């Protein structure tokens, strides 16, 4: 455990940030799972409408520092590709 006043404060800050990051990451994972489930079930219309919200969530996680810029970009790209492939197969 930290002994100095500044180290105690830093430990408190780290704990708060860790909790916020875990919450954001967990919510993002849940949204990704819901989206991929929609795509797998063949509900392209619903997936198409939920895509902008999912991309916004990814961008917000990136803005908060939970994801790096490249990771966010990769996730957005893969999600879009997943939907496009499903729509191509359905047609």
Calculate what percentage of the chain has a pLDDT beyond 90: 89
For residue 59, give its domain range: 5-90
pTM value? 0.86
CATH value at residue 27: 1.20.58.110
Q: What is the mean pLDDT of residues 13-35?
A: 97
Confidence category of residue 2, pLDDT binned at 50, 70, 90: confident
Flag whether pLDDT at 91 surpasses 80.
Answer: no
Within 10 A of 58 (CB to CB), how many other CB atoms are there?
22
* Domains of the chain: total: 1
Q: Which of 91, 82, 89 is nearest to 36 (CA)?
A: 82
Q: Over 90: is that where the pLDDT of 55 sits?
A: yes
Round to whole Å and give the CA distance between 76 and 58: 7
28-44 pLDDT, tens digit each: 999 999 999 999 998 98
């Amino acid at each position: 455990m930290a002994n100095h006043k500044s180290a105690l404060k830093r430990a408190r800050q780290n704990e708060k940030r860790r909790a916020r990051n875990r919450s954001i990451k967990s919510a993002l994972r849940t949204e990704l799972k819901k989206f991929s489930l929609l795509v797998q079930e063949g509900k392209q219309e619903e997936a198409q409408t939920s895509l902008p919200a999912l991309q916004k969530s990814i961008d917000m996680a990136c803005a908060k520092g939970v994801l790096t810029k490249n990771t966010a970009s990769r996730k957005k790209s893969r999600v879009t590709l997943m939907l496009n492939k499903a729509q191509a197969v359905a047609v």
